[in-house]
A = this chain, B = another copy of it.
Amino acid sequence: MKIAVCQSNPIIGDLKGNKGKILAGYKLAEKDKADLIVFPELFLCGYPPLDLVEKKEFRDAVRKAAEEIAAVTGEVGLIFGSITETFEDNIGTNVYNSAILCFDGKIQFVQHKTLIPNYDVFDEVRYFESAKEISVFEFKGEKLGISICEDIWNDVDYWKHLRYSVDPIKKLFDGGATVLINISASPYAYGKRLERLAMLSKLTSDDKLPLVYACCVGAQTELIFDGASMCFDKTGKLCLIGKKFDEDYFVFDTDKEYEPVKEIEGSLAEEVTEALVLGLKDYARKTGFKKALIGLSGGIDSAIVAYLAVKAFGSENVHVVMMPSQYSSDGSISDSEKLIANLGISSDTISIQEVVDKTLELLKDAFHGKGEDVTEENLQSRVRGLYLMAMSNKHGYLLCTTGNKSEIATGYATLYGDMCGALAVIGDVYKTQIYQLANHINKNKEIIPHEIIKKAPSAELRPNQTDQDSLPPYDLLDTILKMYLEEQKEFDEISKKIGNESIVKKVLRLVDLNEFKRKQTAPVLRVSTKAFGYGRRFPIVQGWRK
């Protein structure tokens, strides 16, 4: 059987556009004389549609679009993900996350999703019921076993711990499936692709069935989908893989011999760089921004964000602003100027000092003679935010924030200051990983000036300040943060590992105390298994202490 995979980039809610992509892909499959073409999970409405699903007019429009698509199909089978609805009883939502199979002008078969994920960034139980039936569908001499994303992630033989008591793939296997098809929308995290490969390869070799695993690509606000759709033969060999971080269309022939695919996943720096460029590019494209703006401090974080923006927007569409104060080091401007030259981007330099001084003068009485403290530091950061937002408003720039994950975790960022912006581009990248990105970017030639990479990180908000005045060294900090944030470990276990209770206590307390700042952060592009934002939900007001 010749199965085309169309790994496209939908816009959530844009039914007209997404329908157009399905019809365009279908024409290619007809031209290629494929038997079947497959689109990813919920492709017609985009994933995740979130509370749009709760709107009846939206669901009606999705149903109408699905019927219109089915109406133009011919011999070639078409599978795409969509919302469907049954009106059978008065219990539950009656709404399903479904795979629709159509040909010969109508919808011929619908398989609902059985396993409804509801952890991390997934909230699907909020919207969808679980399938009551799982069955194969005979098509052109094969028995298609169709499943949706999570359905394939509960293999009893692969996992030590199961999330669900049902295994839909076993039911399809028992039902006599000869070809497995899984339509998916699985958000990117570094390392996940290799895990997918291992799991799917074992499953297909155990079941002795070929598998088409069709993934979507593109970014939807904070979630990035990396494409890399996979086709396995019945020995568990990966025969084809879709492009990473880009749209793709290709045809898999279940009867053909393939050379095994070798290149699965690059280094963290390589992969994360590509992921973030796509995240930034799609946010801008899907919201209509053409140009980006970054406040350049002379430090490594804003340098990396400027580089990513150049990759996403083109150098002619990236503008940076340098905003020195009395505490700025000499290097902050000269190093930035090197970077600006290397990237070929435009810039302004506007001092904040006068506005800071004028503001402090006007607030003097209201401060009641209290001495300098963090107020004056935050004020500098906020005047920079004031400038950047004014520039963004005036010229229609997308303002990128430059905080990394280590900073956002510990609250080492100023609310309404350097946290101003539409998208936290590197908010899921630890400081130690930022250096990896810099080295990767400089692999062939120096783009990020080495002066920027070498200097001690500093917010430059008071004389001779460095980050390490307030925080532990970044390698130690990031080790603690990773255990706390991504591995759900707590004080006892982390202290035991680190061997320093007071540092661990301090870091954990900083993370907890700064939940209020993260509530107000820009969306964070997700590249790890646990990013700040939608998939991480901690109370702002809470008293848990170990």
Q: Give the interface of A toward B (CB within 8 A).
A: 11-15, 17, 46, 48-52, 54-58, 61, 90-92, 118-119, 123, 125-126, 160-165, 220-221, 282-283, 286-287, 321, 348, 350-351, 354-355, 358-359, 362-363, 365-368, 370, 373-375, 378-379, 382-383, 385-387, 389-391, 393-395, 415-416, 420, 422, 488-493, 516, 519-523, 536-546
Question: Are B544 and A58 within 8 A (Cβ)?
Answer: yes
Contacts of A541 in B (CB 8 A): 11-12, 220-221, 282-283, 286-287
- Known A92-B165, A416-B420, A491-B57; contact A366-B350, beta-carbon cutoff 8 A: yes
Can you sample 12 A-B contacts with CB below 8 Å? A14-B544, A49-B539, A56-B488, A92-B162, A221-B540, A221-B541, A350-B362, A351-B362, A375-B393, A379-B386, A385-B416, A523-B540
**What's the Cα separation between A541 and B223 when bound, in Å?**
11
Pick from B17, B359, B368, B519: contact of A386, CB below 8 A. B359
- Shortest A514–chain B CB gap in Å is 12
- Shortest A528–chain B CB gap in Å is 15
- Shortest A100–chain B CB gap in Å is 19
Question: Are A416 and B389 within 8 A (Cβ)?
Answer: yes
Question: Are A358 and B354 within 8 A (Cβ)?
Answer: yes
> Residue of B at shortest CB range from A379?
B390
**What's the Cα separation between A395 and B369 when bound, in Å?**
11
**What's the Cα separation between A81 and B61 when bound, in Å?**
43
Question: Are A13 and B544 within 8 A (Cβ)?
Answer: yes
Question: Are A537 and B366 within 8 A (Cβ)?
Answer: no
> Residue of B at shortest CB range from A544?
B13
Contacts of A491 in B (CB 8 A): 57
Contacts of A119 in B (CB 8 A): 126
- Shortest A96–chain B CB gap in Å is 16
- Known A51-B538, A543-B17; contact A348-B366, beta-carbon cutoff 8 A: yes
- Shortest A499–chain B CB gap in Å is 18
- Shortest A537–chain B CB gap in Å is 5
Contacts of A545 in B (CB 8 A): 13
- Known A118-B126, A321-B366, A416-B420; contact A57-B546, beta-carbon cutoff 8 A: yes
**What's the Cα separation between A14 and B540 when bound, in Å?**
13
> Residue of B at shortest CB range from A160?
B90
**What's the Cα separation between A373 and B123 when bound, in Å?**
40
Name the residue among A126, A358, A395 with the largest chain B CB count within 10 angstroms. Answer: A126
- Known A126-B118, A355-B359, A541-B287; contact A386-B382, beta-carbon cutoff 8 A: yes
Question: Are B382 and A363 within 8 A (Cβ)?
Answer: no
Name the residue among A13, A46, A543 with the largest chain B CB count within 10 angstroms. Answer: A543
With A350-B362, A359-B390 given, can you name 4 additional A-B contacts, CB distance below 8 Å?
A283-B541, A354-B358, A382-B385, A385-B416
Question: Can you list the 5 inter-chain pairs with the closest CB atoms, starting with the nearest?
Answer: A13-B544, A14-B543, A57-B490, A375-B393, A13-B542
> Residue of B at shortest CB range from A377?
B393
> Residue of B at shortest CB range from A520?
B520
> Residue of B at shortest CB range from A353?
B362
Contacts of A416 in B (CB 8 A): 385-386, 389, 416, 420
Contacts of A162 in B (CB 8 A): 90-92
> Residue of B at shortest CB range from A120?
B126
Question: Are B537 and A123 within 8 A (Cβ)?
Answer: yes
- Shortest A539–chain B CB gap in Å is 5
